[in-house]
Amino acid sequence: MKSATTGTISGCVIWFIVFGLLGSCLGPVGMMIGGFTSVTEFAMQTVGPFVCPDGTTVESRTYATTTNDEFGNPQPSTAFVLQCVDANGTVVKEDPVLYAYLWIGILALISLLVAALLAFALAAPAGVLIARLFRQNRSGTMAENIEPK
């Protein structure tokens, strides 16, 4: 009974370590991909029902604007806005930021779920690798293993 409990606890610790390593890599990658793709029509249509009131449709609007570069000089850029339009074609709500944050959050959550699944798949091999490393450290030098006692 004691070895089963110890094995379960060590397996959970190994899964947590593997999940932490994978999540620290995949989480930022998901957020980066979300940032790049937040201006796509697919992202706006996916997140639009969370932002827009019932009975409205999601549309996107782009317009030319300026932004400042690292030296404070104005540079031309394009802005993207999610619009909620009612049946008459009137814009009921306009959202320039929230939809992008939601989209980035969804992709970050998906990447963490992938990290959790990969951690389940890789926890056993990681446990075997850790056990071999500890066993190798305990065995001493090769000369001790060859000479008779």
**69-119 per-position pLDDT tens digit:** 999 999 999 999 999 999 999 999 999 999 999 999 999 999 999 999 999
Q: Cα(140)–Cα(149) distance, rounded to whole angstroms? A: 14
Q: Could you tell me if 81 and 61 are in contact, meaning their C-beta atoms sit under 8 angstroms apart? A: yes
More confident residue, 36 or 5: 36
Residue 40 half-sphere exposure toward CB, CA atoms < 13 A: 11
Alpha-carbon dihedral 142, 145, 147, 149, rounded to 10 degrees: 150
Q: Give the sheet arrangement for strand 91-95, strand by strand.
A: 57-68, 74-85, 91-95
Q: Cα(38)–Cα(32) distance, rounded to whole angstroms? A: 10
Does 56 reside within a domain? yes
Tokens for 49?
Answer: 């029902």
Please report which residue ranges of the chain form alpha helices under DSSP H: 2-37, 41-51, 98-138, 142-146
| Domain residue limits at 18 | 10-131
Q: Which pLDDT score is estimated for 14?
A: 85
Average pLDDT, stretch 8-17? 82
More confident residue, 73 or 9: 73
Among 8-17, 30-39, 95-104, name the one with the lowest average pLDDT. 8-17
Does 136 reside within a domain? no
Q: Is residue 146 scored above 70 in pLDDT?
A: no
How many domains does the chain divide into? 1
Mean of pLDDT over the chain: 86
| Percent of the chain whose pLDDT exceeds 70 | 85
Would you call 46 exposed, middle or buried from its count of C-beta atoms within 10 A (0-12, 13-18, 19+)? middle
Does 139 reside within a domain? no
Does 142 reside within a domain? no
Does 117 reside within a domain? yes
